[in-house]
Amino acid sequence: MDAAMVDRLAAGEGWALLQSLPPYDEASSLQLQRRLREAGFDAGLVAAAMTQSRLRARATEKFGDFAAGMLFTPDGLEQSTRLAIAARHAHRYAAAGVREVHDLGCGLGADAMAFAGLDLAVRAVDADDATARIAAVNLRHWPTAHVRHALAEDVRLPPGEAARHVGVWLDPARRVSGVADARGRTKRVFSLDAISPPWSRVLAFADEVPATGAKLSPAFPHGSVPRGAEAQWTSWHGEVLECAVWWGPLVATPGRTAAVCTDSSTSVVSEDDAAEGMLEPSLRSVGEIGEWLYEPDRAVIRAGLTGALVSAVDGAELASGVGYVSSSLARELPWARRFRVLEAMPLSTKRLARWLRDQGHDRVTIKKRGVTLDADVLRRQLKMTGRGKGGSEATLVLSRVGGSQVALVVSPA
């Protein structure tokens, strides 16, 4: 969608058409488009409005009721910050005494909406003209929020004493323009040098304005965490969404942290929590596996903080780096799942298949970490097809212990 179409949709006939559309229904969308064209609406405007209707339906999961009054692009929606997470970002700035945030690379404006919602003045820019115009539409309810089309690198920030209550927020582009895939998504980039603005420029902004934060990929390397900064990996209901790096007064806990978030709670794990557990050796043999197996949230694993789970349950990791922790203690943790270990054995397809059949199982759910086995191939080898035999389902965990592959049959606690 180009800038001209954004303007058409955001005012007059376009906005009235968009707001008049019924809830999006894929099955009836073609018929609705035909009726609208027959009613005299321009075909291009109808297609753009229907696309927005479809994107709004998808966006409800991230933006709730706000989605019904917003504009989107497919890539922008995929990359935009969920409002609940954006609110956590905004609270950091407010708690640090920041009064004005420069959102450099604002995208569709999700984080800017959260900043403005806390009465922070927002100065937002985006390198793409159409995206900047969309953000302006999405921020129209907040008179202290201003958006313009510009490169982050060209923004002049307040110097010296004027910067005391100023913050910077960056969400560098991690997709490159060009040919999209079959789903309309452009290619991702993973190198810190390939994001826009590049990592070197993000670091320069942090040197210039102490209260700086940046939203980066969950693949952000541990070795790139700047000295004194906080890198926080955040998950939402188990899905890791981002690694946000914070500088200066925005730092809550220096080093690597993990925030495990749901609708009702947030748990934060830090390097201090993990320090003692990182010193504990891994298991040496399958015979040492305890009654309980714990799986930390993916944000904890991404942050390299499995040691916090080892400490919390007085256990040991199956093997270094796999994430699964064995323990004889049963403890409830909001950032880890607990399973009872029903059987543990060296991985042997014949032995495992025999055990499963003897226990009346005819299908399996397979979880694996630290092994390269293809789960579908193993399922066929085990002959766990579940085709009308009336058996039950088993949960298998495939991992490593003492350098060897192991199979654990577990049940959720």
The predicted model scores a pTM of 0.92
Contact 66, 80 (CB under 8 A): no
Of the candidates 66, 52, 227, the residue with the CA atom closest to the CA atom of residue 141: 66
Three-class DSSP category at 127: coil
pLDDT one-digit tens code per residue, 189-200: 778 988 999 999
Structure confidence at residue 107 (pLDDT): 96
What share of the chain has pLDDT > 90, as a percent?
87
DSSP string, 224-278: GPPTT-EEEEEEETTEEEEEEEE-GGG-SSSEEEEEEE-SS-EEEEEHHHHHTGG
Rounded to 10 deg, the angle between the 43-63 and 29-38 helix axes is 140
Q: What is the per-residue pLDDT across 64-99, written as a single tens digit (0 to 9) for each?
A: 999 999 999 999 999 999 999 999 999 999 999 999
Rounded average pLDDT over 242-269: 97
196 burial level (CB within 10 Å; 0-12, 13-18, 19+): middle
CA distance 204 to 202: 5
In this prediction, residue 177 carries a pLDDT of: 58
Answer for the pair 170, 152: CB distance below 8 angstroms, yes or no. Answer: yes
Q: Are 121 and 99 in contact (CB under 8 A)?
A: yes
Residue 46 scores a pLDDT above 90: yes
**Structure confidence by residue, pLDDT tens digits, 254-265:** 999 999 999 999
State the pLDDT at residue 133: 98
**Residues whose CB is less than 8 angstroms from the CB of residue 151 and which lie 6 or more positions away in sequence, other chains included:** 125, 127, 197
DSSP-derived secondary structure letter, 394: E
Tell me what pLDDT residue 388 has: 54
